[in-house]
Amino acid sequence: MPMQDKLEDMDRITSKAQLSELCEIIDKKEQTIHALLPEKNLKKRLLAEYTASKDAALPLHGMLVGVKDIIRVNGFPTKAGSKLPSSVFEGRQASLIDRLKKAGAMVLGKTVSTEFAYFEPGPTRNPVNPEYTPGGSSSGSAAAVAAGYCQVALGSQTIGSIIRPASFCGILGFKPSFGRIPLDGVIPFSAAADHVGIFSRDIQTLIQVCEILCDNWIADSLKEKKPVIGVPHEKYLQQADKIVLTAFESQIKKYIKTGFSIKPIHILNDIDHINARHKKMVAYEFARVHEHWYSDYGHLYSLHSKELIKQGLSVSDKDYKTAYKGRTAFRDEVLTAMDVNQIDMIASPSTVTPPTLGIKSTGSPIMNLPWTYAGLPTLTIPSGFTEAGLPLGTQLTGKYNKDEELLVFADEIIKTAEQG
């Protein structure tokens, strides 16, 4: 049944009393949600850190951030959602954590990840309705933000692990352009496709965190305007189920009604080949990342991870190189089509289905795959609910390294939707 005692959204922490109250609420809700890795003295640690934080002028002072358990943070073991000993993953703290702390943010805790950020689910449940999956692989991060534990959480995406769980949990999820956020200190899945991204409940907070985390971020001077939105009409859309497609078509009609220009864009006629190339590339790299770990701890791997390693070892060097080079060729194809058609962003469904019942599966990431393969910035925004009260999302994709522009346009879409 849906949770009745939904936690009210909290802004920045402004007092020890507020922080103490939040910790007590989290402790209660975690009995159901399981978004965080267990920590015996979470409240004591956070209160001590808040007391020690002196500079209230820092841009992220009082902000709590959940961190996916594939990102190294000093003082926290890293397990990558696996049964392997944390000593395997020891190393220097990720520089993106350095940036957040320097800006005044506090780490709420480690959030649950599927095993190695792949398909083996953890215990996390969807705060909107705990009978349903929160999505994955950044399950805990999405759930922590949706449940109101923290203002922001970090996740990663190699196929669809930010966009899908954000959509399933009814919040914002942003995957920046490939390479905009440094990956040092992040346990790799596929170096050619890994992205660190951000979950939030409001776009202004999301933009503020992007200014801290993304390399060479430029506060965009673009004047507010209604962007021209491209919509693909090929086999790509047919991958989504009827519920999602009907809701997406309704959303597009709303955009038109509120003054946005919509254009068809023909870029995904070969979606089956794009899907196959991306899957071969990431499987090949995953198998090599895990070569030494698997030789020592193979008995601790799930069947999902074992199968991916097997698939990766079967990919030839030639096929891998073709898939690797295909990223930039596909990206160029998309960008050329956007320029020719004078399109600012592409809209598509965030997921194949609404959140699915149970937590044995995190759902399909196939709707997110082409934009991850191309390394293009992508944001999912909440787009209503199914008749059963389950969240739906619309996925907005921008131009490469034009992340700032994408978020400005998305802000305009969100404001227009709120006013409408």
pLDDT at 6 over 80: no
pLDDT score for 420: 60
Q: CA-based diameter of the chain, in Å?
A: 60
Mean pLDDT within 222-229? 83
Angstrom CA distances, 329 to 7, 336, 374, 400, stand at 45, 11, 8, 13
pLDDT score for 10: 60
Catalytic residue among 29, 79, 110, 137: 137
Q: What is the mean pLDDT of the chain?
A: 95
Helix axes 203-213, 403-419, angle to 10 degrees: 170
- Give residue for tokens 């949770």: 3
pLDDT score for 223: 66
Q: What is the pLDDT of residues 120-155, one digit of tens each?
A: 999 999 999 999 999 999 999 999 999 999 999 999
Q: What is the pLDDT of residues 70-83, one digit of tens each?
A: 999 999 999 999 99
- Give residue for tokens 């933009």: 207
- Give residue for tokens 């480690």: 110
pLDDT score for 233: 83
pLDDT score for 419: 73
pLDDT score for 5: 42
Q: What is the pLDDT of residues 279-290, one digit of tens each?
A: 999 999 999 999
**Which residues, 6+ apart, have CB-to-CB distance to 365 below 8 Å?**
159, 160, 161, 163, 164
How many CB atoms within 10 Å of residue 36?
26
Q: What is the pLDDT of residues 165-179, one digit of tens each?
A: 999 999 999 999 999
How many CB atoms within 10 Å of residue 288?
16
Walk me through the domains of the chain, giving residue ranges and CATH numbers: 1-225+350-420 (3.90.1300.10), 272-319 (no CATH)
3-state secondary structure of 284: helix
For residue 182, count CB atoms less than 10 angstroms from its CB and return exposed for 0-12, middle for 13-18, buried for 19 or more: middle
Whether residue 250 is preceded by a cis peptide bond, meaning omega within 30 degrees of 0, is no
With contact defined as beta carbons under 8 Å apart, do 381 and 413 qualify? yes
Q: What is the pLDDT of residues 199-217, one digit of tens each?
A: 999 999 999 999 999 999 9
Q: What tokens were used for 109?
A: 């805790």
Mean pLDDT within 304-310? 98
Assess whether 53 carries a catalytic annotation.
Answer: no
pLDDT score for 385: 98
- C-alpha angle with apex 263: 261 to 268, nearest 5 degrees? 145
pLDDT bracket for residue 234 (50, 70, 90):
confident
- C-alpha angle with apex 125: 381 to 95, nearest 5 degrees? 65
Q: What is the pLDDT of residues 87-127, one digit of tens each?
A: 999 999 999 999 999 999 999 999 999 999 999 999 999 99
Assess whether 68 carries a catalytic annotation.
Answer: yes
Catalytic residue among 138, 139, 161, 200: 161
Q: How many helices (H) and strands (E) does the chain have?
A: 13, 10
pLDDT score for 4: 36
Assess whether 242 carries a catalytic annotation.
Answer: no
Q: Which 8-state DSSP code applies to residue 71?
A: B
For residue 354, count CB atoms less than 10 angstroms from its CB and return exposed for 0-12, middle for 13-18, buried for 19 or more: buried
Q: What is the pLDDT of residues 23-57, one digit of tens each?
A: 999 999 999 999 999 999 999 999 999 999 989 99
Pick the closest to residue 143 from 163, 170, 120 (CA basis): 170
